[in-house]
Amino acid sequence: MECNFELGARVLREHTFDPITFEVIRNALQSITDEMMLTVQRTGRSPTTTQAFDFSAALCDTNGDVLDQGLAIPIHMGGIPETVQAVLNRFGGDIHPGDVMILNDPYSGGLHLPDIFLVTPIIVEDEIFGYAVTVVHHMDVGGRAAGSMAHDSTEIYQEGIRIPPMKLYDRGKLNETLAEMIQLNVRTPEVVMGDFASQISANGMGSRGILDLVEEYGTETLKFYLRQLMDYSERITRQGISEWPDGVYHFTDYLDEDGLSDDPIPIQVALHIKGDSALVDFTGTSPQTRGAINCVLSQSKAMAYCAIRCAIGEDMPNNSGCFRPVEVVAPEGTITNMQHPASCAARGVTSFRLVDAVLGALAQVVPERVAAAPEGGTSTGRFGFRQPDGTIRVFYDNVFGIRGAWNSGDGRGGVASVGANVSNVSVEIIESQVPLRLRSYGYVPDSGGPGRHRGGLALAREWEVLTPEATITWRSDRRAFPPYGLEGGGAGKGSSNILKRDDGEELLPTKINTVLKQGDVFRHQSPGGGGYGNPLEREPQAVWWDWRNGKVTSAHAREAYGVVMDEAAGVVDEEATAALRRERG
């Protein structure tokens, strides 16, 4: 009798939707994945994990669909289901408690070699309930350049160690052969293994969180609500798309070049809106390049999902239900769906440009919800320092965080890109850990795109080399094609890389792989964000406020906004401003 009662109660629970339980489980999942993120950040060894936050954590079901992703990087979200599927294809039927699967090969389900995934099964009563997944951008994975991010690698074999789906741990026992092989092939073995430990700890945290929910609600009830959460995200996404006008919207953006050729690289988007679904078609985009800026298909999908989700703007669970209404087409052999043996170490710059291109199309659909172009993605680099014992110390740094303006405000500066919730490494951490001195770090006046609302100001950062020699690989863009403005707003100022030596300054390309000497100063200036609306409609007092705070100069205020400053009095010359604006129409 007791058994029948329990069975009947379980069936009732499966078919009775309780909104309070739904919301509790929703928030519990978010708390679990965010706690996974914090575990990596607090126990990691590299500045990638502890400072830059270039990692993600997620929970997946038995098919690899994302149940929830922590406050992490949208770039990774499209790759997580592909990774779990690759693991299942390799080990389906041979996954046990204590197993930890590892993967980084982009041709076997990964993204690019520095992003190493660890996948841990969540076991409930001897059955797999799902998977805890973490992915960390590791400090070094070998290859021809310190930091494994050389833009000028021309094939995948040059970029580092490739790991297909394998078991790092098998029933709790470390695969020592694999671990030794990884350590032998990377420049920072202790740091890499330390970050592995943080990933394993975070996966364990995620697994325990799910087991606590199973204990609270039971397996079947929890599965029921997890399905409901994905269906809920799908409904919100479909509802948002259904409010958009049907049609086909085109947009083309460009990468400056791939670092090996000066030819611009077009990113073409045709956005098809029909009913409650969307098709993002990258047909017409550049063929894959010789330089290492190519993307796998899952990467391109993630960027399309990210852009559409930004335009919808609703609060919803961060799971695979968001993907269902969106189809992505990317022809094979293009920069959006590379074929072997294309290189991809520096593919991040392309990822961000895909977001910009899809948002450019969406600006024609819902202009009130789309901002002008941001800085174009993280400008990022790796420094390498040879140590007295022959080992190489690697350091990872970023300059990013400039948003475009939108219809209700100026673009922000110093905040993460919509495509990556990552952070700049603090000056104090850099100077305490590696032989670099930060000579300057701050905003660049007059760099934000002019408009009724101003684009965010560019950031500039300068590193002085304190050791006899250092290698540097640096990936940036948006010089020839600066961030676009919208609704009459102007483009932001383009990026620059400058090498300062005693004998003068040299303008470097956007993508570099070179050697610096002691006393050399490398300066990177990121692009400024695009402006929104007619600059002549910007309130003179807003221009004055920017002038007073050093964000625009008097000359730029006059040229870009038609605002004349009375510098002696420290106010706007209202009569001269009115006359100048009338003259300009």
**Residue-wise pLDDT tens digits, 289-328:** 999 999 999 999 999 999 999 999 888 999 999 999 999 9
Domain boundary among 182, 202, 234: 234
State the pLDDT at residue 322: 94
pLDDT tens figures, 215-270: 999 999 999 999 999 999 999 999 999 999 999 999 999 999 999 999 999 999 99
Which residue is associated with the tokens 């040059």?
Answer: 158
CB-CB contact of 304 with 256 (8 Å): no
Q: Taking residues 41-70, what's their average pLDDT?
A: 94
Q: Which contacts (CB < 8 Å, 24+ apart) does range 385-394 have?
A: 385/434, 385/435, 385/467, 385/470, 386/469, 391/187, 392/146, 392/187, 392/188, 393/187, 393/188, 393/434, 394/139, 394/140, 394/146, 394/147, 394/187, 394/188, 394/191
In-domain check, residue 342: no
State the pLDDT at residue 559: 97
Domain boundary among 234, 258, 282: 234
Spell out the residues 6+ positions from residue 127 whose beta carbon is closer than 8 angstroms to its own.
none
Instruction: Give the other-Cβ count within 10 Å of 177's Cβ.
Output: 8
In-domain check, residue 344: no
Indicate the pLDDT class of residue 75, thresholds 50, 70 and 90. confident
Euclidean distance between CA atoms 433 and 187, whole angstroms: 16
CB-CB contact of 397 with 48 (8 Å): no
Q: Would the pLDDT of 474 be above 90?
A: yes
For the residues of 254-304, what is the DSSP string, one character each?
Answer: EES--SS----EEEEEEEEEETTEEEEE-TTPPBPPSSS----HHHHHHHH
Euclidean distance between CA atoms 133 and 116, whole angstroms: 10
State the pLDDT at residue 262: 94
For the residues of 76-117, what is the DSSP string, one character each?
Answer: HHTHHHHHHHHHHHHHTT---TT-EEEE--GGGT-SSTTEEE
Output the six-digit token pair for 292.
């290492």
In-domain check, residue 457: yes
Which residue is associated with the tokens 């400053």?
Answer: 565
State the pLDDT at residue 6: 47
Euclidean distance between CA atoms 129 and 133, whole angstroms: 13
Q: Would the pLDDT of 577 be above 50?
A: yes
Domain boundary among 234, 250, 278: 234
Output the six-digit token pair for 33.
């994945």
Fill in the amino acid letter for 252: T
- DSSP for residue 371: P
Return the SS3 of 553.
Answer: coil
Return the SS3 of 139.
Answer: coil
In-domain check, residue 305: no
State the pLDDT at residue 401: 84
In what order do the strands lie in the sheet containing 277-281?
247-255, 265-274, 277-281, 326-329
Output the six-digit token pair for 395.
């350091």
Euclidean distance between CA atoms 335 and 300, whole angstroms: 9
CA dihedral 310→312→318→322, nearest 10 degrees, is: -110
Euclidean distance between CA atoms 143 and 146, whole angstroms: 8
Euclidean distance between CA atoms 303 and 308, whole angstroms: 9
Q: Would the pLDDT of 422 be above 80?
A: yes
Indicate the pLDDT class of residue 9, thresholds 50, 70 and 90. very low
Which of 11, 31, 109 shows the shortest CA–CA distance to 71?
Answer: 31
Q: Would the pLDDT of 112 be above 80?
A: yes
CB-CB contact of 419 with 352 (8 Å): yes
Phi, psi of 361 (to 5 degrees): -70, -40
Euclidean distance between CA atoms 343 and 152, whole angstroms: 9
State the pLDDT at residue 266: 98
Euclidean distance between CA atoms 460 and 476, whole angstroms: 13
State the pLDDT at residue 178: 98
Spell out the residues 6+ positions from residue 422 whose beta carbon is closer than 8 angstroms to its own.
52, 53, 54, 73, 378, 398, 400, 416
CA atoms lying within 13 Å on the CB side of residue 32: 28
State the pLDDT at residue 128: 97
CB-CB contact of 83 with 90 (8 Å): no
Burial of 246 (0-12, 13-18, 19+ CB in 10 A): exposed
Look over the chain and give the mean of its residue pLDDT values, rounded to a whole number. 94
pLDDT tens figures, 459-472: 999 999 999 999 99
State the pLDDT at residue 15: 58
- Number of domains forming the structure of the chain: 2
Helix, strand, coil shares of the chain, percent, nearest 5, are: 35, 25, 40
Domain assignment of residue 430, given as a range: 371-538
In-domain check, residue 549: no
Q: Would the pLDDT of 108 be above 70?
A: yes
In-domain check, residue 325: no
Which residue is associated with the tokens 């045709």?
Answer: 270
Spell out the residues 6+ positions from residue 132 whose beta carbon is closer than 8 angstroms to its own.
36, 57, 58, 59, 60, 119, 120, 122, 202, 203, 204, 205, 206, 207, 210
Q: Taking residues 27-55, what's their average pLDDT?
A: 95
Q: Would the pLDDT of 448 be above 80?
A: yes
Spell out the residues 6+ positions from residue 275 whose beta carbon is closer than 8 angstroms to its own.
241, 242, 246
Helix axes 540-548, 554-561, angle to 10 degrees: 160
Output the six-digit token pair for 410.
């100026």
In-domain check, residue 282: no
Spell out the residues 6+ positions from residue 150 whose beta carbon is closer than 8 angstroms to its own.
143, 144, 158, 159, 292, 345, 346, 473, 513
In-domain check, residue 334: no
Euclidean distance between CA atoms 483 and 474, whole angstroms: 19
* 230 shares its domain with 379: no
